[in-house]
Amino acid sequence: MTDEPDVVHYDRLYRDTNRPPWEIDAPQPALAAVLDTGVRGPRALDVGCGTGELALALARLGHDVTGVDLSPVAITSARAKAAAAGLPVRFEVHDATRLPVSPTPYDSVFDSGLLHTLDRRGAAVGDYLALLPRLTAPGGAVFVLAVSPQAGEGWGLDADALRSAFPEPTWTHTTVEPIDVLARVDTGDLHLPGHLLRATRSSV
């Protein structure tokens, strides 16, 4: 882990490398599998959207989508993709631990690999988790994809840690299932063990 500020770190990865390993030119397969049936709408938020592949996939399904990321470099790329595709996605630069709360909460919130990154880098995980109930409409869904410690990278979130981050009564119908997380590196594709959490925001 580097000691440089997060925004510098991620801007450098997006600007100075061929691609960060999580940029696979598509949504993560485990999330792509739920897009047609699991998304509650119309409003969807992609937190830590990177260059926007998941947000763009949601927009293609007709959802009203906002994507946010800490990296201005990533957001510039995401906006260019949306313009080229003719998709009206709002892409904004924001720190996930200090997101502005919209007067109209989101029906679905997606976190594709952000929570485990905040945990890995010692960021304000508690601030982020405290924001999620305010960002999510009652009855809305949250989806969190995370790499497992079983991947052997020296970090990650196991099923119990994920489940405990979404306690009742604020969250209900919480499930955590094992999945593969796809990463793309110079030597080819990596399939890392991970988890997908789904939770419903209660009306409490």
pLDDT value at position 138?
97
pLDDT value at position 4?
67
Answer whether residue 191 is part of any domain.
yes
The residue length of the chain stands at: 204
Range of the domain at 176: 25-201
Residues 178, 194 contacting (CB under 8 angstroms)? yes
Answer whether residue 161 is part of any domain.
yes
Which residues of the chain are modeled with pLDDT < 70?
1-4
Q: How many domains does the chain have?
A: 1
pLDDT value at position 124?
87
pLDDT value at position 2?
46
Q: pTM for the complete prediction?
A: 0.94
pLDDT value at position 155?
86
Answer whether residue 17 is part of any domain.
no
Answer whether residue 150 is part of any domain.
yes
Q: Residue 187 belongs to a domain with what CATH number?
A: 3.40.50.150
Answer whether residue 11 is part of any domain.
no
Query: What is residue 157's three-state secondary structure?
Result: coil
Beta strands in 73-187 (DSSP E): 90-93, 106-112, 136-147, 171-185
Q: How far apart are CA 196 and CA 49, in angstroms?
A: 17
CA distances from 131 to 38, 60, 80, 116, 192 (A): 22, 27, 28, 16, 28
